[in-house]
Amino acid sequence: MIRKVRWIVAVLLLAVLAVLCQAAQPSQADVEARVESLLKQLSLEEKVDLIGGVDDFYIREIPRIHLPRLKMSDGPIGVRNYGPSTAFGGVGMAAAWDSDLAQRVGTIIGQDARARGVHFMLGPGVNIYRSPLNGRNFEYFGEDPFLAARTAVAYIQGVQSQGVSSTVKHFMGNKSEFDRHNSDSIIDERTMREIYLPAFEAAVKEANVGAVMDSYNLTNGLHLTQNGYLNTDVAKKEWGFTGIMMSDWDATYDAVGAANGGLDLEMPSGKFMNRDLLLPAVCAGKVSEATLDDKVRRILRTAIRFGWMDRDQTETSISRLSAEGRQVALEGARSGMVLLKNDGNLLPLDKGKTKSIAVIGPDAYPAQPVGGGSGAVQPFVAVSFLEGIANYLGAGAKVYYAAGIPTLEEMAARTKFTTEASGGKPGLKAEFYDNANLSGQPGIARVEKKRVTIQERLEEWPRMTGRFGGQATSRRTPRASTWLLFKVRERTVVTGCTWTRR
d(CA 42, CA 64): 10
Q: Is 74 designated active site?
A: no
What are the residues whose beta carbons fall under 8 Å from the beta carbon of 305, sequence distance 6 or more? 25, 26, 31, 210
DSSP category for residue 299 = H
| Pairwise CA distance, residues 408 & 483, whole Å | 18
Q: Are 46 and 62 in contact (CB under 8 A)?
A: yes
Predicted confidence at residue 22, as pLDDT, reads 47
Residue 329's contacts (CB-CB under 8 Å, 6 or more residues apart) are 86, 87, 88, 89, 105, 108
Instruction: Determine the length of the chain.
Output: 502
Report d(CA 331, CA 355) in Å as an integer: 29
Q: Which of 49, 98, 214, 248 is catalytic?
A: 248
What is the pTM (predicted TM-score) of this model?
0.82
Give residues with Cβ within 8 angstroms of 262, minimum separation 6.
226, 227, 228, 230, 231, 232, 235, 236, 245
Mean pLDDT by 10-residue block, N- to C-terminus, for the chain (502 residues)?
Answer: 48 50 69 96 98 98 97 95 94 95 98 98 95 90 96 98 98 90 94 98 98 97 97 98 98 98 98 97 97 98 97 96 94 92 90 93 89 88 94 93 81 74 81 84 81 61 65 74 58 40 42
Q: What is the pLDDT of residue 459?
A: 59
Given this model, what pLDDT does residue 496 score? Answer: 39
- For 16, residues 6+ apart whose C-beta sits below 8 A from its C-beta are none
pLDDT at 494: 37
The reported pLDDT for the residue numbered 500 is 45
Domains, the chain, in order of start with CATH, read 2-305 (3.20.20.300), 344-402 (no CATH), 408-501 (no CATH)
CA atoms within 13 A on the CB side of 1: 0
Q: How many CA atoms lie within 13 A of 499 on its CB side?
A: 15
Q: CA torsion sign, 135 to 56 to 276 to 233?
A: positive
HSE-CB at 28 with a 13 A cutoff on CA atoms is: 4
b/e burial code for range 297-311 (CB count within 10 A of at least 16 → b)? bbbbbbbbbbebbee
